[in-house]
Structure 1
């Protein structure tokens, strides 16, 4: 469909995985399984961080909020993907695409901030343990979480507006599984570098800056841990940080690869796979990473299941 002006757009077509025409049913059940794992795993984390007295600390307060964020983040995309796979109706209205992209960007930005806040919490706990209760009091924790949730809203709404005011002149077919910024910008007329710059700048602001803060926090943490006289103390300190580092690596690794690396037509399938990693696969693994590597979480889960 040739499109010459933004006002003429009625809908977009999410092509999904046209490379796998015989696996649409398998993909439906696969993504349904992933979504159920996300809901159950993150839901359990939310419950135990609320009801277990031993988990009433800032670290688990942030973890509970992070799990709730993961449920919201995946609910923006996966139910729509499941509907498209089940019905094979790949059309998404212009308004639905706007809403999906806006929510996806806002929640993605919030996740970047929450991960940075969690790194700061670990930094204070390990590098300034005597002042930890004073610095990370409940009021500060709530302010950090609220700031993370609302801090991304104005800029991401502005980026969504900027993307959808572009003129789309080549096609309304998105070779993607949901409405995301990179494939939408590819459809726009004019200088592709100019069109892609706001998306790139947004990725730097919400991706690289929080990621840099996380790296700085963990460099300070590692330096402090290495100075501990006890090998047991060093091992315990490393174990409390390793889960968060794995989650950060998975999320930022795939996100940066999608938003910041040079684009080419030969990497369309790779881009889709990477987008699925940071939008669906990583949220599924997060509860497993935090529970399997955390004795307190395992103990709380056992108590909950016994009850």
Structure 2
């Protein structure tokens, strides 16, 4: 089986069996190209189909020598494992050499967060006398009050708001829906925007159910939300590098710091794996360490 045949068959497997997107398939085949490049550089010529676990470990060592960071190596290993699974399924190999291939440990970067004071300062910096002011306040209240992703915020629908039971329905990654609690401040900000201001906007056809609209009656873009937050950060002299996602991180961090159950936080954030949510326990440990440093009499 030559390289072209292997890649063609692998791409068909990823599309039909794994239902991956075009971008994911291209990333996997790019990674497979690297494996073939490595094979061509070896003194003893053999194709990846004939590789052993030892050969694959040599390939990972080669990636490391090229200066590839652990997260990129981990992504490539994922693609290589999928390739050998495909070869095994098609009976091109009798044993899977990638089965015991270890993924490098990735040091998870702790995200920047805002303190409650900083969040209040940003909300307070919004000019409520401007037509977009109450809408922008509602955006920040919902981002922080519900821990939404920016795409979830811009796609939020009126039909999914249930203030009477203090919940909203959110469509997250993979079109998965979840119910998220919404607090009093966010409810009030939404009501002011929806009932007093949004009703005066000429709404474009097809956008009638969208919560957050621009002055032309179309749904807000994620870029607008990003730029609005950047401008507010400058207005209060905030030195941190922040984005809409910072409010989501702050939401989760503040809950965990105050003793919220990690499973409940996972459910509200819409994380598929509890491992993703566990990063906030690390933030919490750092917070506890700071408390000891600042307040313990022996420190």
So what's the TM-score if we normalise by structure 1? 0.22
Q: Which has the higher contact order (CA 8 A, sep 6+)?
A: 1
Greater helix fraction, Structure 1 or Structure 2 = 1
